[in-house]
């Protein structure tokens, strides 16, 4: 257990529905990453926060994806109008230098 | 765009044999991190290398960062069954906060 928690751990949704995931970081870590990982692949960068500011977002990320980190504490990742290709593990990591990953949210879009 | 490749993709070794995975970036890196992911688990940080030509050791693990800061390697001496998992490198570059993870090397250790 790294101290980073994610909720829910599993989410099954129908294509076209919206989903929201939550990440609770280690409290003293002001830097937070979201990644997406599919089977057999390495984590793919989605976005980066420093405190409440979203400083970088992957250019590969469609407009259906949005992330927030109000007050620089927990973060949420929302996917609108889900597609089957969104099925993946969504990982949150917080970091002073090394990245502490949460257990992830496994999304299945049917 | 920037790519980080790892070879080999898979490696099966007998317990006690050595193992090496290589990481190559298409662009110069500012630093490189290594992670281990067990089946069904999440990536766990192993080490960060920053300096050109840097070598760091952790017990049976030896990490190297190339002189040109475009490649890196992880060497495990005398593998054990607890070494099973997928090893990822993750490259950071100047001017961006993102890390690009490599394709990973899946290690299987046969007892």
- At B16 the pLDDT is 97
More confident residue, A2 or A96: A96
Q: Looking at residue B54, what is its pLDDT?
A: 97
Residue B69 and residue B89: Cα distance in Å, rounded?
A: 13
Can you give the pLDDT of all 111 residues of chain B as single tens digits? Answer: 788 999 999 999 999 999 999 999 999 999 999 999 999 999 999 999 999 999 999 999 999 999 999 999 999 999 999 999 999 999 999 999 999 999 999 999 998
Alpha-carbon dihedral A45, B29, B58, B64, rounded to 10 degrees: 140
β partners of residue B37: B86
- pLDDT tens-place string over residues A9-28: 999 999 999 999 999 998 88
Q: State whether B90 and A104 contact (CB < 8 Å).
A: no
* DSSP conformation class of B88: E
Asked if residues B102 and B88 have their Cβ atoms less than 8 Å apart, the reply is yes
Q: Do A101 and B44 lie within an 8 Å CB cutoff? A: yes
Whether residue B13 contacts residue B77, with contact meaning beta carbons closer than 8 Å, is answered with no
A68 in Cβ contact with A61 (< 8 Å): no
pLDDT at A71: 85
pLDDT number for residue B2: 80
Q: Which among B38, B109, B31 is positioned nearest to B70, based on CA atoms?
A: B31
pLDDT score of A96 more than 80: yes
pLDDT at A69: 96
The alpha carbon of residue A89 is apart from the nearest alpha carbon of chain B, in Å, by 10
Closest CB to A55 among B33, B97, B104 = B97
- Nearest by CB to residue A43, choosing from B48, B97, B101, is B101
Is residue A1 within 8 angstroms of chain B, CB to CB? Answer: no
Interchain CB distance below 8 Å, A48 and B90: no
Q: A45, B100: Cβ pair inside 8 Å? A: yes
Report in angstroms the alpha-carbon separations of A35 from A19, A25, A40, A78, B42: 16, 14, 14, 13, 11
Residue of A nearest to B88 (CA): A42
Short-list B3, B6, B1, B4, CA closest to B87: B6
């Amino acid at each position: 257990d790294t101290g980073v928690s994610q909720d829910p751990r599993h989410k099954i949704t129908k294509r076209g529905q919206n989903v929201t995931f939550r990440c609770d970081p280690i409290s003293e870590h002001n830097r937070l990453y979201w990644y997406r990982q599919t089977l057999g692949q390495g984590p793919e960068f989605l976005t980066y926060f420093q405190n409440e500011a979203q400083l970088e977002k992957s250019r590969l990320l469609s407009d259906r994806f949005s992330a927030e980190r109000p007050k620089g504490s927990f973060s949420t990742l929302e996917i609108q109008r889900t597609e089957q290709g969104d099925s993946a593990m969504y990982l949150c990591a917080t970091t002073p230098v090394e990245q502490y990953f949460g257990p992830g949210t496994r999304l299945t879009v049917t | 765009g920037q790519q980080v490749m790892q070879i080999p993709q898979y490696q099966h070794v007998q317990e006690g044999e050595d193992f090496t995975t290589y990481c190559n970036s298409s662009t110069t890196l500012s630093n490189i991190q290594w992670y281990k992911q067990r089946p069904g688990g999440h990536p766990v940080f192993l080490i960060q290398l920053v300096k050109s030509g840097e070598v760091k050791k952790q017990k049976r693990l030896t990490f190297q960062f190339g002189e040109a800061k475009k490649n890196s390697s992880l060497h495990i001496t005398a593998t054990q069954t607890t070494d099973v998992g997928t090893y990822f490198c993750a490259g950071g570059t100047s001017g961006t906060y993102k890390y690009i993870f490599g394709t990973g090397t899946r290690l299987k250790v046969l007892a």
